Structure 1
């Protein structure tokens, strides 16, 4: 079925409220879900909303939680999500984060105690859309391993970066530290499809292309030790700096009744006058050299949502 962004927002909001979310929680989550869909990130759009709905109903998200926002330093905002969603804490701090970045040149948002962050590009894209550069990192329950460990010890620990451009949408990338995101492996398992070599290990710690076996094993870091190093950096920032659960200690985000209580760290920089024009010129040079420029496809104005997801939402 096809929906306008407003229709899709109302569908997501209504489903979240029926699953136990307070209205402001549901509205914040719906904005993020629709933003992911409009950016073409379908695996972390309505498909991932289903995880949130189950988490509301089963206690992994407190749908009535009110984040606690504090300002321990002029360029620092800290948020305790109170076992709620990550998006609401960011919404509450967004305008202040922008103001402090412009006043001091840079400002940091640190949040702990939330469900997983959803589409990480949502946070950086919003800041870049208002003229700031931004980097975001978040951790998640342990799903990824390294060549030496061969058991889950780190989250897929994504990193996103965005920068404003003079014309059109901002430069944005959002990527996991693992060779692929967990939702892609789960989708392959549901469809009975194989996965490429190098994505995952099975439950015995052996390489596998069987997506169902991979769900019982662990994902692999992209680029071997290099990807694992980036995942560790993300862990230090998203969990260590914020005070959130380390990935090893985070409960599952798909089963049980406990919040993963993971972290989100966002850094925003004020750009100097003329930055957008200078970057725009350079990006155009790179594009002429054949480089793919992430995030510049624009926002979709009509959203296709699969019938099976619509049926789950309506239920």
Structure 2
């Protein structure tokens, strides 16, 4: 649109960082969150890019995020790194630990990083992709406050509980799968509500447990898992990884990330593997296999489109709607 604002990636990072610092976030955390936000926007995921940044900004103002929190990192054994976000954001702790996590994975073949007491993690694929870009295979899992009905339940008991997987291909490309356990992500329902649009009746149920096309009724009811009980089982698996192993809040106990003064206090689980220690020529073989799947069987290989969009954003810039740009620019500490 003619009224859109186009920013270079550097300008976009500066916009996000400045807004976050204005409402009380320490600079290192603001830089990490700004970089993750721009990465999501450049990857073609605007609902968890700058649109989601406004949730962070409001939560800093309202006290749901401890803006000055300094993550506490410990390592009980060499291949395990634990981070207490102390009410801050997971992106900050991961940015601090990332280089050491990658080094440990390359040394031992496997390394695990966990976060507890965090606000929402933003784009989960950002964590896995970061490690894949360093030649590692990565799995990431996180939870949130309860919005997803469990198998046989009409009430929300899990978060959308996404799972991300990334692996390096030859060159700069990566394979990246990033998907929620729900039929859709909560941000898509919120986006439909903001636009006054309906949603597919396969996404959610209302408070009476009936399928609904009304996004407002969906937010009062519950999202449904993809694939029925099988998807709900994956949500439970993610819950065990993201909340059970990290010490974070179970989704049932997590505060709403949009309301109140309490942090959701959820968790993040990241597993990093060094493929070179498991199989020879891993990236070459995987590139050949994904190429065969794509060319011979017309299979969509997730992650390649992301890399193309990110490269395009590097040259053409990040385009933001004027209203969103003005909203972010206007944030000030109360």
Into which bin does the TM-score normalised by the smaller protein fall?
over 0.9
Residue 191 of structure 1, aligned match among 180, 192, 195 = 195
Using the TM superposition, name which of 174-183 and 265-274 deviates more: 265-274
Equivalent pair of 1:168/1:296 in contact (CA under 8 Å): no
Map of 1:63 onto structure 2: 67
Q: Which runs of at least 4 in structure 1 moved beyond 6 Å after TM superposition? A: none
1:228-307 matches, cutoff 5 A = 228-272=232-276, 273-288=280-295, 289-297=297-305, 298=307, 299=310, 300-301=313-314, 302-307=317-322
Deviations 1:57-112 (A, max 9, x none): 10110000000000001110001000000101101111110111011100000110
Residue 152 of structure 1 corresponds to which residue in structure 2?
156
Structure 1, residues 248-287: CA drift from partner, whole Å, max 9, x if none? 0000000100000000000000011411111111110001
Q: How many correspondences in the alignment?
A: 315
Deviation at 1:147, TM superposition (A): 5.0
Task: Judge which range, 143-152 or 261-270, deviates more.
Answer: 143-152
Tell me the residue number matched to 1:211: 215
State how far apart, in whole Å, the 1-side matches of 2:40 and 2:195 are.
22
1:311 counterpart residue number: 326
- Cα deviation code 1:202-227 (max 9, x no counterpart): 12222101111111111000000010
Using the size of structure 2 for normalisation, the TM-score is: 0.93
Describe the SS at the equivalent of 1:64: coil
Alpha-carbon distance in 2 for matches of 1:185, 1:229:
22
Aligned position for 2:80:
76
In 2, distance between residues paired with 1:237 and 1:213?
30
Report the aligned-residue RMSD: 0.9
Aligned match of 2:53? 49
1:221 to 217, 225, 237: 225
Report SS of the residue matched to 1:153. strand
CA distance, structure 1, for counterparts of residue 32 and residue 318 of structure 2: 19
Q: Which runs of 5+ in 1 are unaligned?
A: none
Unaligned runs of 5+ in 2: none
What SS does the corresponding residue of 1:265 show, helix, strand or coil?
strand
Distance (whole Å) between structure 2 residues aligned to residue 226 and residue 307 of structure 1 = 41
| Paired residues of 2:73 and 2:81 also in contact (CA < 8 A) | yes
- How far 1:310 moved relative to its partner? 0.7
Query: What displacement does 1:134 show?
Result: 0.2
Range 299-308 or range 84-93, more displaced: 299-308
